[in-house]
């Protein structure tokens, strides 16, 4: 499993061996039930226990705004901020030639079909700020331009608590170009 090394896997296995058999069987059946009952939303590619996920089903959401992310974890992170009320589109990764991942390996065509329907007025790109994320954003930008919709991206700049002397030049440069009016944190 991703993120689980040999030592962690051994700890998990030893922990399970110490548990009552019934608990291990419950755990195993829960994993099987999860695999059988969880699917991907046919609109946005998010995980769901039904054909359409709760976010896409929510009538209070702004259906004209779609945030494009790499992974399901990104959706959860954005949702935890409580600052976004649009829909999502999960690409399932980013373009990475070094890893053998091209545009055809991602759910880009699915996104374009959503935009073609004409209900979306803005695509909000919330992808990684590394070379692969920038490549993916640029590719999406080029594919989305013909639809004549607003294409925005997450604000980029110096992180809260970061020292300027340790900030890379690209990030610092973007922070300067995209500077904004000062608003105190307690407002």
Q: What domains lie within the chain, and their CATH numbers? A: 60-153 (3.40.1360.10)
pTM of the model: 0.81
pLDDT confidence of residue 179: 76
The tokens of 60 are what? 């209070």
Mean pLDDT by 10 residues, the chain (187 residues): 87 92 92 92 96 97 97 94 94 96 97 96 92 94 96 82 78 80 65
pLDDT at position 42 is 96
Q: Provide the 3-class DSSP secondary structure of residue 26.
A: helix
Written as six digits, the tokens of 48 are: 């769901």
Please state the three-class secondary structure of 50-98 as a single string. CCCCHHHHCCCCEEEEEEEECCHHHHHHHHHHCCCCEEEEECCCCCEHH
């Amino acid at each position: 499993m991703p993120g689980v090394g040999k030592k962690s896997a051994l700890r998990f296995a030893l922990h399970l061996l110490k548990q009552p058999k019934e608990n291990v069987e419950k755990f195993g059946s829960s994993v099987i039930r999860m695999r059988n009952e969880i699917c991907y939303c046919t609109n946005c590619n998010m995980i769901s226990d039904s054909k359409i996920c709760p976010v896409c089903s929510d009538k209070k959401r702004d259906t004209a705004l779609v945030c494009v992310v790499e992974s399901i974890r990104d959706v959860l992170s954005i949702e935890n901020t409580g600052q976004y009320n649009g829909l999502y589109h999960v690409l399932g990764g980013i373009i990475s030639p070094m890893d053998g991942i091209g545009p055809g390996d991602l759910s880009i065509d699915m996104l374009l079909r959503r935009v073609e329907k004409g209900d979306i007025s803005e695509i909000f790109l919330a992808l990684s700020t590394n070379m692969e994320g920038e490549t993916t954003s640029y590719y999406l930008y080029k594919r989305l331009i013909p639809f004549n919709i607003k294409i925005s991206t997450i604000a980029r700049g110096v992180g809260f608590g970061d020292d300027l002397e340790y900030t890379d030049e690209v990030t610092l440069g973007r922070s300067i170009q995209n500077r904004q009016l000062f608003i105190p944190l307690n407002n």
